[in-house]
Amino acid sequence: MPPALDFGAEIPFVRELGFVLARMEQGESELHYEVRPEHMNSFAVAHGGAVMALLDVALATAARSVAPELGIVTIEMKTSFMQPARGRLVARGRLLHRTRSLAFVEGTVHDAEGRACSQATGTFRYVRRTADAQALPTD
């Protein structure tokens, strides 16, 4: 596994899940995730919520890779689950299009066998970072 990169922001939920950022450049990202027992569902595979969080972060980091000075918030995301996610997961995100304030992104999660398990598309809004972390857009 490549050395972990800095997300550029402290994200307690991401730290709790144990996501590792391996790549974040030129509109692309790659994250690694070793699913822990407490992140599994009753079928002993990665819980869909954990997989969606992984996709959300993969898409967001792909979008932020072209504007690392900005923060980003999820506007909408559609996720498709194709098969159970087992073992060590790899998520890759790719920026499809960017405007001044929005990013349109896609991503896929692959399992330890290299099979595509889930994929997502999303729309994200760029926001300026302020000293007040609570200062999110309200319009």
CA distance 61 to 137: 19
CA distance 14 to 18: 6
* Structural domains in the chain, sorted by start: 12-128 (3.10.129.10)
CA distance 66 to 53: 21
Query: In 3-state terms, the chain is what percent helix, strand and coil (to 5)?
Result: 20, 45, 40
pTM, rounded to two decimals: 0.90
Strands in the chain per DSSP E: 20-25, 28-34, 70-81, 88-98, 102-110, 116-128
pLDDT by position in tens, the chain (length 139): 555 677 877 888 999 999 999 999 999 999 999 999 999 999 999 999 999 999 999 999 999 999 999 999 999 999 999 999 999 999 999 999 999 999 999 999 999 999 999 999 999 999 998 765 555 555 5
